[in-house]
Amino acid sequence: MEDRSRDRYGGLSSRELWFWLSTLDVIGPVSLNRLLGVFGSPEGIWTHHAWSGADAWNGDHDMPCVELNPKQIKELGDSKLEPEKIAKKLAAIEKDGIAFIGRNEADFPGKLRSLPDCPAGLFVKGSLPMPDMPMVAIVGARSCDEYGRQMAEYFGRELASHGIGVVSGMAAGIDGESQWAALRSGGYSLAVLGSGVDICYPRSNYNLYEQLIRDGGVVSENVPGTIPQAFRFPMRNRLVSAFSDAVLVVEARERSGSLITADHALEQGRDVMAVPGRVGDQLSEGCNRLIRQGAVMVTCFEDVCEVLGMDFSEPKNLREAEDEERKDHDAEWMKIIEALSSTPSHIDNISEKTGIAISELMHDLLLMEMRGVVRQVCQGQYVKLLFPDR
Amino acid sequence: MYSKVKTLMIVGIEGLVVSVETDVSAGLPDFSMVGYLSSESKEAKERVRISLKNSGFQLAPRRITVNIAPADIRKDGTAFDLAIAVGILISYGIISSDRCKDIAFLGELGLDGRLCPVHGVISMVAAAKDEGFHGVIVPKENAREGSAVEGIKVYPAASLGNVVEMLSGNEELDSYAAEHWVAGQEERKYDVDFSEITGQAAVKRAAEVAAAGMHNIIMVGPPGSGKTMTARRLPTILPELTQEESMEVTKIYSICGLLPPGRPMMLTRPFRSPHHTISASALAGGGAVPRPGEISLANRGVLFLDEFPEFSRASLEVLRQPLEDRRVTISRVKGSYSFPSDCMVVAAMNPCPCGYYPDRDKCRCTDYAVRKYLQKISRPLLDRMDICVDMPAVAYSDIIMSRSVDVKQEDSAAIRGRVMAAWERQKSRYKDEGIFFNSQLTNSQMERFCHLSPAAESMMAEVYRRMELTARAYHRILKVARTISDLSGEAVISEYSLAEAVGYRGLEQKYWG
């Protein structure tokens, strides 16, 4: 019986049929869901006569019942021609250590099922988060500045060390920083890629990519081998927000991909949070606008907990933490700390503000850098660490 | 009749005495020259023949053969003309060979018999002196330059006729009244001064440290922050050239024909600033007959490489060996040539393609682009840059400050005073080591001379661990710390000197990883 039914579908199992749907590229997730709505299952789509053979849709115009255009119909027909290749391809992918999870399977993340554009399947390297793990997406600008870097690091670290998973896109800048911080503090982090999971993009994050596979997860809806293309990233962003319970935007310019993620989050019913920035800072314009539009403004980990409805500790604000730090040092250090901010200041300016001679200042700053109070972001330029890592 | 007169040529930067042998005998009238001559030397035949005629010598047609010995060294240059002409005149019996015995002849002839100046006179006169010559006849334009060599007489001449007159008489020749050119005696003539730079305290301090130990320095900063301005002023805080150094520098400039008009000697430290399109051989020296490159022209001074990453990879890599050995060796089939290249390299660059990183309001270069830009400079070359400083954009307050009279910026002379004191300390410390500066310390020498105070020792241990330094970076920090201690007169390196040196390390960990 089993064998006979498989014959009808080119010898493919149900799992392989879901994989077949995942490999379709011209047919996006929305069209796919419409097809599934009409035909009920991948098996239904496979056996429909319209794609190929004598009865094939002639391809002159759109197919009204499923609203497919000729190109999409052609893709369906062509992809069916060699069923044994589909099975072989899935086997090869799994041999490479990439797991395929079809939508029909039990481990398919529940958070994604309700999406109107839910993917047919996911490709995973590493592991997916436990179903009950709270997840927060941290997203932001690729060319971030020191303030954003510190914020991403802080939130990544604090969330992950409290058992909250960090979802992001493994991009340069905010994404990568927050994921690094999460992994470093021993927590879980998930990267949703716009390319295939076997392609590390950007290349500069290769170390992060490897560590994510080891201690976290890398996931994509695209078939392995898919190269990163600009149009895939907005699609990817919908999954970043879908995997999370709330989205935190750290730094975003006025026109930013992170805002697309925030829009998806709202559509999907996730909370949107934003880290405020100074008026006039281009890198914070997007965040500040989100806050104006009603996003929750967060300045510390406890604020995020509140949004998630969790409670870890009594709130301790930034000011107190800083004061505590300051008590340990003498007046000179305090003078230097006061002259610093999260925007890089050059040693010349610090010297001017504090009245300390350059050579002495270099000595103090070196000690402070080693104590983790300040950081040298580039030769001679220092920032104060907002959340000293103790 | 056979005759032999002496002249000189340039090999590398030194002069070499060569003989011009002339034979005039019966046979078909001919004028032939042998002795492995380059084309400009071969053309001497025509210049000599016609200038002899135009100087009023009616020579009977004979078979003239000239050989320039030794015949296995390639002869180039035009300084042989005068010696050939004199040799022919002796062979014809027009002048007597007695007067020419201890004299060497230098000079190019014009068709009208006038004597034209040649390059490299100072090296050639010095070589003549070493060979025991009594005097050298040189074109009058070269007389001042030649007279810088002590212990040999320099006789200026304006034309071939002039020379013949000098050699025909019996009276003592008029030698050029040797002006005493002593380095440093003449007032230093730099038209720039450190006091013109306002603000930029960190960079000025770094420049002082670099000068004190002759450390190579790289300046990173946005456009218009004063990188070029600082580099130009670096020679002004270096101690004055010694007599020997001055002679060495002058030789190189003389060979390249770059001596400033009216100045027979180079008394100030050279500053060379080649454009970034320069080829590898123009930078290091080269050519079929090797000539000194920019790095040799900067010998004892400053070689400024503006827009460092824009130089071609090949040009930059060729610097590595000369920076290490302080000498450029160029090998050719006919022997190898060596030029000194003991200079301080000052490099300037923007931190990213647009120049404004890390100011993210202005700079939108991606991290990748920034890294890519910095990676244009290879790691081995970067390892030779002891000091790395970042320059901030000039603040408005700094511009205002330069207008007010009250705030007096320190001038070059004051900084030079401190640098000289540091040089003295190094000189006395390294008198038996064959080196002069902290930047030349080898690892084993560092162990002997770079002692850290206990506080500095523990700081170094922590820095090494926390900042994940490499052994190379550690040694570089130690050398620079030694120089900072020399500036402040400490025998043992204090934690303050060390901390400052750590501050000058390149951020290779971060960007050049």
Cβ–Cβ below 8 Å for A379 and B507? yes
Closest by Cα among B152, B131, B158, B154 to B143: B154
Confidence (pLDDT) at B513: 35
Domains of chain A, by residue range, sit at 2-95, 126-308, 318-384
pLDDT exceeds 50 at position A1: no
Nearest C-alpha in B relative to A141? B366
Q: What average pLDDT does this structure show over A304-322?
A: 69
Q: What average pLDDT does this structure show over A217-224?
A: 95
Q: Quick one: tokens of A149?
A: 């870097």
Query: Is the alpha carbon torsion for B238, B239, B240, B246 positive or negative?
Result: negative
The answer to whether the CB of B376 falls within 8 A of the CB of B506 is no
Largest alpha-carbon pair distance within chain B? 90
Chain B interface, Cβ < 8 Å to A: 199-202, 205, 220, 351, 357-361, 363-368, 371, 388-390, 392, 395, 397, 459, 462-463, 466-467, 484, 495-497, 499-500, 502-503, 506-507, 510-511
First vs last C-alpha separation in chain B: 74
Closest by Cα among B300, B367, B372, B368 to B340: B300
Chain A nearest-CA distance from B280, in A, is 29
Closest by Cα among B81, B68, B123, B130 to B257: B123
Cβ–Cβ below 8 Å for A358 and B205? yes
Confidence (pLDDT) at B186: 52
Nearest C-alpha in B relative to A364? B499
Cβ–Cβ below 8 Å for A380 and B502? no
Count, residues in chain B: 513
Confidence (pLDDT) at A62: 61
Instruction: Identify the DSSP state of B413.
Output: H
Which SS3 state, helix, strand or coil, does residue B8 take?
A: strand
Q: How far apart are CA A1 and CA B233, in angstroms?
A: 91
Cβ–Cβ below 8 Å for A204 and B368? yes
Please identify among residues 133-152 of chain A the ones whose CB lies closer than 8 Å to any CB of chain B.
Answer: 142-146
Secondary element (H or E) of residue A364 = helix A358-370
Which SS3 state, helix, strand or coil, does residue A139 take?
A: strand
Cβ–Cβ below 8 Å for B507 and A362? no
Contact list, A377 vs chain B (CB under 8 Å): 358
Confidence (pLDDT) at B405: 56
Q: Under CATH, which number does the domain B441-513 receive?
A: 1.10.8
Q: Quick one: tokens of B31?
A: 């004028």
Chain A nearest-CA distance from B367, in A, is 6
Confidence (pLDDT) at A59: 57
Contact list, B506 vs chain A (CB under 8 Å): 379
pLDDT tens digits for A25-79?
888 898 888 888 888 888 888 887 667 655 666 655 666 667 778 888 888 888 8
pLDDT exceeds 80 at position A340: yes
Q: What is the CA radius of gyration of chain B?
A: 28
Contact list, A358 vs chain B (CB under 8 Å): 201-202, 205, 500
- Is A371 an interface residue toward B (CB < 8 Å)? no
Instruction: Identify the DSSP state of A198.
Output: T
Largest alpha-carbon pair distance within chain A? 88
Confidence (pLDDT) at B512: 42
Cβ–Cβ below 8 Å for B202 and A346? yes
Confidence (pLDDT) at A141: 93
Q: Options 3.30.230.10, 2.60.40.150, 2.40.110.10, 2.20.25.90; which CATH number does B2-168 get? A: 3.30.230.10
Chain A nearest-CA distance from B368, in A, is 7
Domains of chain B, by residue range, sit at 2-168, 194-424, 441-513
Cβ–Cβ below 8 Å for B507 and A344? no
**pLDDT (tens place) for every residue of chain B, 513 residues total:** 899 999 999 988 889 999 999 999 999 999 999 999 988 889 999 999 999 999 999 999 999 999 998 988 889 889 999 999 999 999 999 998 888 888 999 999 999 999 999 999 999 999 999 999 999 999 998 988 888 888 899 999 999 999 999 888 777 777 777 665 554 455 556 788 888 887 788 899 999 999 999 999 999 888 888 899 999 999 999 998 888 898 899 999 999 988 887 777 888 899 999 999 999 999 999 888 788 999 999 999 999 999 999 999 899 889 988 988 889 998 888 778 889 999 999 999 988 888 887 777 778 887 778 888 888 888 888 888 899 888 887 767 666 666 665 566 788 989 999 999 999 999 999 999 888 899 999 889 998 999 999 999 999 998 888 877 788 888 989 999 999 999 999 999 999 999 999 888 865 544 443
Q: How far apart are CA A249 and CA A269, in angstroms?
A: 16
Which SS3 state, helix, strand or coil, does residue B37 take?
A: strand
Contact list, B199 vs chain A (CB under 8 Å): 348
- AA letter at B441: L
Q: Under CATH, which number does the domain A318-384 receive?
A: 1.10.10.10
Chain B nearest-CA distance from A348, in A, is 6
Q: What b-and-e string marks burial along A95-105, b requiring 16 or more CB atoms within 10 Å of the CB?
A: eeebbbbbbee
DSSP assignment of A375-386, as one string? Answer: EEEETTEEEE-S
Q: Under CATH, which number does the domain B194-424 receive?
A: 3.40.50.300
- AA letter at A137: A
Q: Which CATH class is domain A126-308?
A: alpha beta
Cβ–Cβ below 8 Å for B507 and A376? yes
Confidence (pLDDT) at A315: 47
If one counts every other C-beta atom within 10 angstroms of the C-beta of residue B328, the result is 26
The yes/no answer to whether this complex scores an ipTM above 0.85 is: no
pLDDT tens digits for B281-313?
999 998 887 889 999 999 999 999 999 999 998
Cβ–Cβ below 8 Å for B361 and A282? yes
Average pLDDT taken over every residue of chain A: 87
Query: Is the alpha carbon torsion for B231, B236, B237, B243 positive or negative?
Result: positive
Confidence (pLDDT) at A390: 47
The answer to whether the CB of A215 falls within 8 A of the CB of A207 is no
pLDDT tens digits for B182-198?
544 555 567 888 888 87
Suggest the residue from B218, B225, B227, B360 to mutate for an interface test with chain A (most A CBs closer than 10 A). B360
- Is A310 an interface residue toward B (CB < 8 Å)? no
Nearest C-alpha in A relative to B498? A363
Cβ–Cβ below 8 Å for B358 and A378? yes
If one counts every other C-beta atom within 10 angstroms of the C-beta of residue B468, the result is 10
Q: Nearest Cβ partner of A346 from B392, B467, B507?
A: B392
Closest by Cα among A205, A168, A191 to B371: A205
Q: Nearest Cβ partner of A202 from B359, B368, B389?
A: B368
CB-count burial class (<10 Å; 0-12, 13-18, 19+) for A2: exposed
Contact list, B467 vs chain A (CB under 8 Å): 370
First vs last C-alpha separation in chain A: 64
Q: How far apart are CA B357 and CA A145, in angstroms?
A: 10
Q: What average pLDDT does this structure show over A341-354?
A: 86
Cβ–Cβ below 8 Å for B392 and A377? no
Q: How far apart are CA B503 and CA A376, in angstroms?
A: 10
Nearest C-alpha in B relative to A174? B367
Residue B169, C-beta contacts closer than 8 angstroms, at least 6 positions apart:
none
Chain B nearest-CA distance from A292, in A, is 22
Residue A359, C-beta contacts closer than 8 angstroms, at least 6 positions apart:
B205, B484, B496, B497, B499, B500
- Is A360 an interface residue toward B (CB < 8 Å)? yes
pLDDT exceeds 90 at position A342: no
Closest by Cα among B227, B206, B220 to B356: B220
Q: How far apart are CA A122 and CA A25, in angstroms?
A: 14
